[in-house]
Structures are given as structure tokens and as C-alpha cells.
Amino acid sequence: VFQEFGTAECYFTNGTEKVRFVMRYIYNRQQYVMFDSDVGHYVGFSPYGDVNAKRWNSDPAELEYRRAQVDTYCRHNYGIYGQFATVERR
């Protein structure tokens, strides 16, 4: 049985002041390529991941779309994530 999936994660530091978007692609429990908004491009972790990263990094529309995910996906959904990610101290 082969399994492939991708995960999208948002990391919030000091509310929405510092937001990081990370997209990971995993095949058979091994991460093969990742996009990190702090880095700004795809990074491959295997020969297959390097091929995909090179292809996606050569497409300016794909990179612009992923970089915009910080605002359109993370900050847009901050109200939902913020309920579970923040801890109030008294």
C-alpha cells in the first residue's frame, strides 16, 4: 500500500505579526519536498523531491501563489486557529 499526501501548517508568533506557512509533501511516511514561506521556495529532500522542487520553483505563478498563502490561508483563518493555539494566562 502506497500513501501520498500533503499537509499545510501555519505558525503564528505574537498573533498575526509573524506568520509562517509550511506545505509538506509526504510519500510513504517520508517527506520529499517542502515549501516554507520564510525560505520563499520549494526544497527537495530526495531525488524525486529535487525534481519537483526544481519544476515548481521555475514557475513564478506557483511561487507567488504559495507565498500568498500566508495571507489568504493563515491570516484569513487566524480566528479559527487562534482559539486552539493560544493559551490565556491569568
Ordered DSSP codes for 17-75? TEEEEEEEEEETTEEEEEEETTTTEEEESSHHHHHHHHHHHT-HHHHHHHHHHIIIIII
Residue 89 lies in a domain: no
90 lies in some domain:
no
Domain that holds residue 15: 4-84
**Residue 41 placed within a domain:** yes
Give the pTM: 0.79
Pairwise pLDDT comparison (8 vs 82), residue with the higher score: 8
Q: Per-residue pLDDT for 1 more than 70?
A: yes
Q: Which pLDDT does position 13 carry in this prediction?
A: 82
Residue 86 has pLDDT above 60, yes or no: no
Tell me the C-alpha distance between 79 and 66, whole Å.
21
Residue 83 has pLDDT above 70, yes or no: no
Name the DSSP letter for residue 6. E
pLDDT tens for 4-63 read 899 999 888 877 788 899 999 999 989 999 999 999 999 999 999 999 999 999 999 999
* Domains identified in the chain, total number: 1
For residue 73, give the nearest of 37, 41, 40, 32 by alpha carbon. Answer: 37
Domain CATH code at residue 72? 3.10.320.10
Q: Is residue 16 assigned to a domain? A: yes
